[in-house]
Amino acid sequence: MKTLLIIDVQNDFMPGGSLAIPNGDKIVSVINTMQYKFDLVVASQDWHPKDHVSFASNHSGKKTFDEIEIQGKPQTLWPDHCVQGTEGAEFHSDLDTKPWEAIFRKGTDKTIDSYSAFYDNGHLKSTGLAGYLKEKGTSQLFLCGLAADICVYFSIYDAFKEGFACFYVEDASQPLDVENFKDLKQEMIKLGIQIISSEEI
């Protein structure tokens, strides 16, 4: 089964949002067009409590994009974003969610961040996504969304480790840091992850 996983296409990651990804809004129409080519469409949603450990505002004397250590791992401190129940946490209003069969929320534990749609950053807790996709019979998994160099990348890496044949849909994704993402793309290619455009699906 050919499955599309849409990562975090939410208001706070759009231009004007609290953690804006450059040109993040440009992917919405691409996703809307291509998602009808799939047998199964699912999405992830960043869904943080307001006292989340990854927010710079919750660390006295720290500022946005500082790096600290949490549970033995480096943690970038972000602006408050995708707080549960806020408009910033909602999906972009132009995004067509009708074909979606399920939404998997992540980042709900205030004590640890969760970039991947599959696990938190410490791999302590699963979202249940891998089991869901396997039970549905997913063989090929196509991933897209925001941000390509963070949540999409970590989701692809975990999907690959779970044994899915992975495809990164480049024109349906945007990175926060374009230069950093160039290196990550090379890593994906070495793993055997295919980088494609929506036209090739």
Pairing of strands 100-106, 40-46: parallel
Q: How far apart are CA 78 and CA 65, in angstroms?
A: 6
Whether the Cβ atoms of residue 201 and residue 34 lie closer than 8 Å to each other:
yes
Q: Distance between alpha carbon 19 and the CA centroid of its chain, in Å?
A: 13
Q: Which of 12, 25, 106, 158 is catalytic?
A: 106
Q: Can 37 be counted among the known catalytic residues?
A: no
Q: Which of 12, 82, 113, 151 is catalytic?
A: 151
Place of tokens 């992540």: 106
Q: What strands, in cross-sheet order, belong to the sheet with 40-46? A: 100-106, 40-46, 2-7, 140-146, 165-174, 194-196
Q: How far apart are CA 153 and CA 2, in angstroms?
A: 19
Pairing of strands 40-46, 140-146: unpaired
Q: How far apart are CA 116 and CA 155, in angstroms?
A: 4
What are the helix (H) ranges across 58-152? 129-136
Three-class secondary structure of residue 90 per DSSP: coil
Q: Can 8 be counted among the known catalytic residues?
A: yes
Q: Can 96 be counted among the known catalytic residues?
A: no
Q: Burial level of 14, CB count in 10 A (0-12/13-18/19+)?
A: buried
Catalytic amino acids?
Answer: 8, 106, 151
